[in-house]
Structure 1
Protein backbone atom coordinates (compact mmCIF):
# COMPACT_ATOMS: atom_id res chain seq x y z
CA UNK A 1 0.00 0.00 0.00
CA UNK A 2 1.07 3.59 -0.60
CA UNK A 3 0.45 6.58 1.66
CA UNK A 4 0.37 10.28 0.88
CA UNK A 5 2.23 12.20 3.59
CA UNK A 6 2.20 15.97 3.92
CA UNK A 7 2.75 18.77 6.39
CA UNK A 8 -0.21 21.03 7.17
CA UNK A 9 0.20 24.29 9.08
CA UNK A 10 -2.44 26.56 10.58
CA UNK A 11 -2.76 29.74 8.53
CA UNK A 12 -3.06 31.86 11.67
CA UNK A 13 -0.80 29.70 13.85
CA UNK A 14 2.68 30.90 12.99
CA UNK A 15 4.40 27.53 12.85
CA UNK A 16 1.73 25.25 14.33
CA UNK A 17 2.15 22.32 11.91
CA UNK A 18 1.22 18.67 11.84
CA UNK A 19 2.05 15.64 9.73
CA UNK A 20 -0.97 14.22 7.86
CA UNK A 21 -1.07 10.73 6.35
CA UNK A 22 -3.72 9.61 3.86
CA UNK A 23 -3.83 5.98 2.69
CA UNK A 24 -3.98 5.71 -1.11
CA UNK A 25 -5.84 2.39 -1.34
CA UNK A 26 -6.24 2.27 -5.12
CA UNK A 27 -2.71 3.47 -5.89
CA UNK A 28 0.04 0.87 -6.26
CA UNK A 29 3.18 2.91 -7.01
CA UNK A 30 4.97 5.97 -5.70
CA UNK A 31 4.78 7.66 -9.10
CA UNK A 32 1.00 7.11 -9.33
CA UNK A 33 0.65 8.53 -5.82
CA UNK A 34 2.65 11.62 -6.76
CA UNK A 35 0.37 12.17 -9.77
CA UNK A 36 -2.80 11.74 -7.69
CA UNK A 37 -1.53 13.76 -4.71
CA UNK A 38 -2.50 17.30 -5.81
CA UNK A 39 -6.16 16.32 -6.23
CA UNK A 40 -6.26 14.45 -2.89
CA UNK A 41 -4.63 17.42 -1.14
CA UNK A 42 -7.14 19.77 -2.77
CA UNK A 43 -9.99 17.59 -1.45
CA UNK A 44 -8.42 17.55 2.02
CA UNK A 45 -8.01 21.34 2.02
CA UNK A 46 -11.70 21.78 1.19
CA UNK A 47 -12.46 20.32 4.63
CA UNK A 48 -9.50 22.03 6.35
CA UNK A 49 -9.53 25.61 5.06
CA UNK A 50 -7.77 26.89 8.18
CA UNK A 51 -4.59 25.02 7.15
CA UNK A 52 -1.99 25.33 4.41
CA UNK A 53 -0.08 22.37 2.97
CA UNK A 54 3.65 23.00 3.14
CA UNK A 55 4.93 19.97 1.23
CA UNK A 56 4.10 16.36 0.37
CA UNK A 57 5.59 12.98 -0.49
CA UNK A 58 4.47 9.40 -0.99
CA UNK A 59 5.79 6.28 0.70
CA UNK A 60 5.20 2.54 0.59
CA UNK A 61 3.98 0.94 3.80
Structure 2
Protein backbone atom coordinates (compact mmCIF):
# COMPACT_ATOMS: atom_id res chain seq x y z
CA UNK A 1 0.00 0.00 0.00
CA UNK A 2 1.35 3.43 -0.98
CA UNK A 3 1.19 6.14 1.66
CA UNK A 4 1.24 9.69 0.38
CA UNK A 5 3.53 11.54 2.76
CA UNK A 6 3.98 15.26 2.59
CA UNK A 7 7.41 16.19 1.31
CA UNK A 8 9.88 17.85 3.60
CA UNK A 9 10.06 21.47 2.60
CA UNK A 10 12.84 23.72 3.77
CA UNK A 11 11.80 26.78 5.65
CA UNK A 12 11.23 29.53 3.11
CA UNK A 13 10.85 32.95 4.59
CA UNK A 14 11.83 36.55 4.04
CA UNK A 15 12.45 36.82 7.77
CA UNK A 16 16.16 36.55 8.64
CA UNK A 17 17.21 33.74 10.93
CA UNK A 18 18.56 34.34 14.42
CA UNK A 19 22.07 33.55 13.15
CA UNK A 20 21.74 36.06 10.31
CA UNK A 21 20.54 38.73 12.73
CA UNK A 22 23.43 38.05 15.08
CA UNK A 23 25.94 38.20 12.23
CA UNK A 24 24.45 41.47 11.00
CA UNK A 25 24.53 42.92 14.52
CA UNK A 26 28.18 41.93 14.88
CA UNK A 27 29.08 43.70 11.62
CA UNK A 28 27.27 46.86 12.75
CA UNK A 29 28.93 46.86 16.17
CA UNK A 30 32.34 46.25 14.59
CA UNK A 31 31.84 49.16 12.18
CA UNK A 32 30.74 51.48 15.00
CA UNK A 33 33.71 50.44 17.13
CA UNK A 34 36.14 51.23 14.30
CA UNK A 35 34.55 54.65 13.85
CA UNK A 36 34.78 55.34 17.60
CA UNK A 37 38.43 54.31 17.69
CA UNK A 38 39.22 56.60 14.74
CA UNK A 39 37.52 59.48 16.56
CA UNK A 40 39.48 58.77 19.75
CA UNK A 41 42.71 58.63 17.75
CA UNK A 42 41.91 62.04 16.25
CA UNK A 43 41.21 63.48 19.69
CA UNK A 44 44.49 62.05 20.99
CA UNK A 45 46.40 63.45 18.02
CA UNK A 46 44.76 66.84 18.47
CA UNK A 47 45.53 66.80 22.18
CA UNK A 48 49.17 65.94 21.54
CA UNK A 49 49.39 68.63 18.90
CA UNK A 50 47.94 71.28 21.21
CA UNK A 51 50.28 70.26 24.01
CA UNK A 52 53.26 70.49 21.67
CA UNK A 53 52.23 74.01 20.60
CA UNK A 54 51.67 75.09 24.22
CA UNK A 55 55.06 73.68 25.27
CA UNK A 56 56.77 75.52 22.41
CA UNK A 57 55.13 78.81 23.42
CA UNK A 58 56.10 78.36 27.07
CA UNK A 59 59.74 77.68 26.20
CA UNK A 60 60.10 80.97 24.25
Superposition TM-score, scaled by structure 2 size: 0.27
Comparing both structures, which one devotes a greater share of its residues to strand? Answer: 1
Structure number with higher relative contact order (C-alpha < 8 Å, ≥ 6 residues apart): 1
Superposition TM-score, scaled by structure 1 size: 0.26
In terms of Rg, which structure is larger?
Answer: 2
Comparing both structures, which one devotes a greater share of its residues to helix? Answer: 2
